[in-house]
């Protein structure tokens, strides 16, 4: 059983990737956990519409992400605005993630599992996951890493726990029965992905996969609806 943190950060590759953890976010936010979302790319390739413009889609998706966060009770949303599909494991990306960790000072970070034994992981998800783990340890922790941040007052910060979604080795299950509805409402805010792009959803009801996915995970541990994470702990 995971203890509810007082401060938590969600770091995703794309707008809408919080589908991996939004039930847990809602559960904890409803009880008073303060959240910050960091979204690494602008999601500007996520369409099947050949007439869509890159800048236009980036703008739409940022608005959708803000709306989804509002449904989850999250107001602090940071967009790093890297181009979709082009996230690279660079010093600049690590620096920006470290900056946000040192600014918000979370107890827990939720992000993508960078690897999965059973399936291929989207390149941006891999890069986001591994860059986040690297940012936590050692870069956010040690003052001589990114001295330009330390000089600006972004003091070192130790994160004790990381929860990785989409892992093939789940160690924690969160009962989201009371927030699965709220999770679906949040995902429905990503209209360009789940409402106006019906090929991503096989059912007639948009974003119904939220219920199906949470039910499938819940069945593994005798819960009605759940989310699963691989937990990693760091010395603080
Ligand atoms: Zn994604």
| Separation of CA 2 and ligand 1 centre (Å) | 25
What pLDDT digit, counting tens, does each position of 193-224 carry? Answer: 988 876 665 556 888 999 999 999 999 999 99
What pLDDT digit, counting tens, does each position of 70-126 carry? Answer: 999 999 999 999 999 999 999 999 999 999 999 999 999 999 999 999 999 999 999
Residues in the chain: 236
- At residue 1 the predicted structure's pLDDT band, cuts being 50, 70 and 90, is confident
pLDDT of res. 203: 58
Pairing of strands 108-112, 161-165: parallel
Percentage of residues of the chain with pLDDT beyond 70? 97
| Separation of CA 18 and ligand 1 centre (Å) | 9
Provide the CATH topology of domain 7-233: Rossmann fold (3.40.50)
pLDDT of res. 198: 62
Domain boundaries, the chain: 7-233
What pLDDT digit, counting tens, does each position of 147-192 carry? Answer: 999 999 999 999 999 999 999 999 999 999 999 999 999 999 999 9
pLDDT of res. 196: 84
| Separation of CA 8 and ligand 1 centre (Å) | 20
- At residue 226 the predicted structure's pLDDT band, cuts being 50, 70 and 90, is very high
pLDDT of res. 201: 59
Instruction: Count the neighbouring beta carbons within 10 Å of the beta carbon of residue 219.
Output: 12
pLDDT of res. 202: 57
Cβ-contact 232, 170 below 8 angstroms: no
| Separation of CA 125 and ligand 1 centre (Å) | 6
* Residue appearing with tokens 């040192």: 102
| Separation of CA 170 and ligand 1 centre (Å) | 19
As to burial, measured by CB atoms within 10 angstroms (0-12 exposed, 13-18 middle, 19+ buried), residue 201 is: middle
């Amino acid at each position: 059983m995971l203890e509810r943190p007082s401060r938590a950060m969600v770091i995703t590759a794309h707008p809408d990737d919080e589908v991996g953890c939004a039930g847990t976010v809602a559960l904890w936010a409803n009880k008073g956990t303060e959240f910050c979302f960091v979204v690494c790319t602008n999601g500007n390739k996520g369409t099947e519409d050949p007439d869509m413009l890159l800048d236009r889609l980036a703008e739409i998706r940022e608005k959708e992400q803000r709306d989804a966060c509002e449904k989850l009770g999250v107001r602090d949303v940071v967009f790093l605005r890297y181009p979709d599909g082009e996230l690279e494991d660079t010093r600049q990306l690590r620096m920006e993630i470290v900056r946000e960790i040192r600014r918000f000072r979370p107890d827990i970070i939720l992000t993508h599992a960078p690897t999965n034994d059973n399936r291929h992981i989207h390149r941006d998800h891999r890069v986001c996951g591994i860059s986040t783990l690297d940012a936590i340890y050692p870069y956010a922790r040690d003052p001589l890493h990114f001295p330009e941040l330390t000089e600006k007052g972004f003091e070192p910060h130790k994160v004790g726990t990381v929860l990785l979604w989409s892992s093939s080795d789940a160690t924690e299950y969160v009962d989201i029965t009371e927030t699965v509805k709220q999770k679906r409402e949040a995902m429905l805010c990503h209209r360009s992905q789940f409402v106006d792009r019906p090929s991503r959803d096989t059912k007639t009801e948009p974003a119904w996969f939220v219920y199906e996915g949470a039910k499938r995970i819940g069945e593994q541990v005798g819960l009605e609806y759940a989310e699963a994470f691989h937990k990693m702990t760091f010395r603080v």
